[in-house]
């Protein structure tokens, strides 16, 4: 499979576009791999399509995880089609979701000492299965509390190229929940946010007067062991594919449309590898599902959404969702050493919340230094100074940015204005136009600042 660009979180928007691969998207009649319909891609060079278009897996960037590949114009024989169908069937999980729900019911009836979880297979075991897993590492005495926090029990699937499962810290997860409650939401569509889903579901089971509910959509099928079909749908957010078919799609639709679709919010924290366009198209389809059965009230509204993503994707996200704003809140992760809150300088988490809710409604914690900017009408991080010239709080990364009069905008504190490139950049940048001529006279060998025609004048 593929992703736009290199995919790793570079400290700029350059993760996309330059990588030589363009996504053409989900097209009707696309062939399927075990992860649903494949996406159409094309190699590019200097922004132009080059070479044959091809289909690749939407979910896996690594050929190791899914080796599906097909040229767009390739003739596929009947025999190969049949083999592919069989392959896709065989590459579905061993137990179905409903089997897993049955297994769970039996599991919770077991006395504590008989409750085992196989760490190798990432599976709850029933006593009859112990034998088969006898030389696997397992956990004993799995408690109700552990069953309610599967994200702690399961190991995070960190393989960057596919799952990129980075779990919220308590700080970030609790913050999201507090905001959701304060804003009066009752239902949360958790798309790739298993930890948010789990704190909502476990609170709901413990506290009678807690009215928030969550539906988890995630590609990680291990979660089907812990949640019913009304709480979890096996879903691919790069092609809007419900593995559970029409029934699962209907579960999602019903969830969104209860109470006339009121007080629902979608919260999503996708892998950062790129494919913003594919994600945006799926989120638009989820939003459309919500809009469909809307009856009265919110006629022209968009489903409230939090899209959690690095700040350097801001312009890409705004391309698809012009109503979104980026919040300064730094989202951080337990199993990601680099993306911790509270570090200084470049070590701060680059991950933010993009939302179509009114920014002033999202109250960021003052104890952490966030303050309200009356001009911008939103909460900003402590280092984010209001620039009088830009008339906005311009820092994206939490550090104090400085205004460049030549660029007519604020830039990172570590940047300086390069007269050669005619823009601000890191001092160590490779000048784009080293062998292009001087800006003034066009001759090679000197920069504008040293142009002899200037000194003569």
Judged by CB under 6 A, the chain residues 189 through 228 that form the site for ligand SAH are: 192-196, 218-220
| Bridge pairing between strands 264-268 and 305-310 | parallel
**Residue 34 in the binding site for ligand SAH (CB under 6 A):** no
Binding span for Zn ion by CB under 5 A among 96-104, 228-236, 388-396, 439-447: 388-396
Contact, 338 vs 345, CB < 8 A?
no
d(CA 411, CA 396): 9
Judged by CB under 5 A, the chain residues 109 through 138 that form the site for Zn ion are: 118, 120-121, 133, 136
Q: Which of 180, 207, 116, 98 is nearest to 362 (CA)?
A: 180
Judged by CB under 5 A, the chain residues 415 through 444 that form the site for Zn ion are: 417-418, 420-421, 424, 431
Give whichever of 171 and 423 is closer to ligand SAH, judged by the CB atom: 171
- Could you give phi then psi for residue 283, rounded to 5 degrees? -65, -35
Of 27, 81, 108, 406, which lies in the binding site for Zn ion, with binding defined by CB under 5 A? 406
Residue 64 in tokens: 């190791």
Binding span for Zn ion by CB under 5 A among 143-151, 158-166, 223-231, 407-415: 407-415
**Residue 149 in the binding site for ligand SAH (CB under 6 A):** no
Q: How many CA atoms lie within 13 A of 432 on its CB side?
A: 10
**Residue 163 in the binding site for ligand SAH (CB under 6 A):** yes
Judged by CB under 6 A, the chain residues 166 through 185 that form the site for ligand SAH are: 166-168
Residue 59's binding partner out of Zn ion, ligand SAH, none, with CB under 5 to 8 Å set by partner kind:
ligand SAH
Of 165, 251, 305, 349, which lies in the binding site for ligand SAH, with binding defined by CB under 6 A? 165
d(CA 120, CA 92): 18
Distances from the Cα of 287 to the Cα of 92, 245, 309, angstroms: 28, 19, 18
Contact, 396 vs 311, CB < 8 A?
yes
Residue 121's binding partner out of ligand SAH, Zn ion, none, with CB under 5 to 8 Å set by partner kind:
Zn ion
**Residue 265 in the binding site for ligand SAH (CB under 6 A):** no
Give whichever of 117 and 241 is closer to ligand SAH, judged by the CB atom: 241
The 10 Å Cβ neighbour count of residue 104 is 17
Strand, helix or coil for residue 400: coil
Contact, 369 vs 354, CB < 8 A?
no
d(CA 195, CA 269): 11
**Residue 403 in the binding site for Zn ion (CB under 5 A):** yes
3-state helix/strand/coil string of 38-58: CEEEEEEECCEECCCCEEECC
Judged by CB under 6 A, the chain residues 228 through 247 that form the site for ligand SAH are: 235-238
Distances from the Cα of 6 to the Cα of 2, 35, 41, 195, angstroms: 10, 22, 15, 27
Of 57, 66, 164, 327, which lies in the binding site for ligand SAH, with binding defined by CB under 6 A? 164
By CB under 5 A, name the binding residues for Zn ion. Answer: 118, 120-121, 133, 136, 387, 389-390, 403-404, 406-407, 410, 417-418, 420-421, 424, 431
By CB under 6 A, name the binding residues for ligand SAH. Answer: 59, 163-168, 192-196, 218-220, 235-238, 269-271
């Amino acid at each position: 499979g593929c992703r736009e660009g290199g995919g790793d979180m570079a400290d700029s928007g350059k993760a996309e576009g330059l990588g030589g691969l363009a996504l053409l998207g989900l097209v009707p009649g696309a062939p399927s791999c075990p992860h649903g319909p494949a996406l159409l891609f094309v190699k590019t060079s200097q922004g132009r399509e080059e070479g044959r278009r091809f289909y690749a897996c939407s979910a896996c960037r690594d050929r190791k995880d899914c080796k599906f590949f097909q040229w767009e114009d390739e003739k596929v024989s009947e025999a190969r089609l049949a083999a592919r169908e069989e392959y896709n069937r065989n590459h579905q999980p061993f137990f179905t979701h409903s089997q897993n729900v049955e297994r769970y019911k039996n599991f919770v009836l077991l006395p504590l000492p008989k409750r085992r979880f196989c760490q190798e297979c990432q599976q709850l075991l029933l006593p009859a299965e112990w034998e088969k897993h006898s030389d696997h590492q397992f956990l004993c005495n799995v408690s109700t509390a552990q069953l309610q926090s599967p994200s702690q029990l399961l190991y995070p699937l960190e393989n960057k190229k596919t799952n990129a499962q980075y779990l919220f810290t308590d700080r970030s997860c609790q913050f999201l929940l507090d905001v959701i409650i304060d804003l009066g939401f009752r239902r949360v569509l958790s798309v790739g946010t298993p930890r948010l889903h789990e704190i909502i579901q476990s609170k709901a089971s413990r506290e009678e007067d807690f009215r928030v509910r969550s539906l988890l959509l995630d590609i990680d099928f291990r979660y089907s062991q812990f949640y019913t079909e009304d709480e979890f749908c096996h879903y691919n957010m790069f092609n809007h594919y419900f593995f559970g078919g029409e029934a699962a799609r209907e579960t999602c639709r019903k969830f969104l449309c209860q109470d006339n679709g009121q007080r629902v919010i979608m919260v999503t924290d996708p892998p950062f590898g790129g494919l913003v366009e594919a994600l945006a198209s799926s989120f638009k389809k989820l939003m459309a599902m919500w809009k469909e059965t809307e009856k009265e009230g919110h006629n022209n509204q968009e489903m409230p959404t939090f899209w959690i993503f690095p700040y350097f994707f801001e312009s890409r996200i705004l391309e698809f969702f012009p109503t979104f704003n980026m919040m300064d809140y730094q989202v951080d992760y337990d199993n990601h050493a680099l993306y911790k809150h509270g570090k200084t300088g470049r070590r701060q988490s680059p991950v933010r919340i993009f939302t179509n809710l009114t920014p002033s409604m999202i109250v960021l914690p003052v104890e952490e230094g966030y303050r309200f900017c009356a001009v911008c009408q939103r909460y900003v991080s402590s280092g984010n100074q209001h620039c009088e010239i830009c008339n906005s709080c311009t820092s994206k990364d939490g550090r104090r940015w400085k205004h460049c009069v030549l660029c007519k905008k604020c830039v990172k504190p570590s940047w300086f204005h390069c007269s050669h490139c005619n823009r601000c950049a890191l001092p160590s940048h490779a000048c784009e136009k080293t062998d292009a001529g001087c800006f003034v006279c066009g001759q090679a060998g000197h920069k504008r600042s040293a142009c002899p025609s200037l000194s003569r004048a």
